[in-house]
């Protein structure tokens, strides 16, 4: 299983960021179920603009 970190943002969205690909993925490039190994809080930042918001400015 590949190791992932859950990153939680100020806006309450979260993402899973890979820490390390397992050997099975490295050989086949087929993703296996994630193995959540850590949680990181980025409560001082939003996850980023939504695609349609970049055209509103």
Determine the Cα–Cα distance for residues 30 and 10; give it in Å rounded to an integer: 32
Strands 2-9 and 14-20: antiparallel
Task: Check if the beta carbon of residue 42 is closer than 8 Å to that of residue 13.
Answer: no
12 has pLDDT over 60 = yes
- Distance CA(54)–CA(25), nearest Å, equals 34
pLDDT above 80 for 54: no
pLDDT tens-digit readout, 15-50: 999 998 899 999 999 988 889 999 999 999 888 765
Structure-token match 């994630």, residue found: 34
Does the pTM of the predicted model rise above 0.75? Answer: no
| Phi, psi angle pair for 16, to nearest 5° | -110, 120
Q: CB of 38 within 8 A of CB of 5?
A: yes
Query: Which pLDDT score is estimated for 50?
Result: 58
């Amino acid at each position: 299983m590949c190791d992932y970190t859950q990153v939680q943002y100020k806006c309450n969205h979260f993402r899973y960021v890979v820490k390390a690909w397992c050997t099975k993925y490295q050989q086949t490039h087929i993703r296996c179920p994630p193995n959540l190994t850590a949680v990181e809080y980025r409560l001082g930042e939003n996850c980023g603009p939504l695609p349609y918001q970049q055209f509103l400015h």
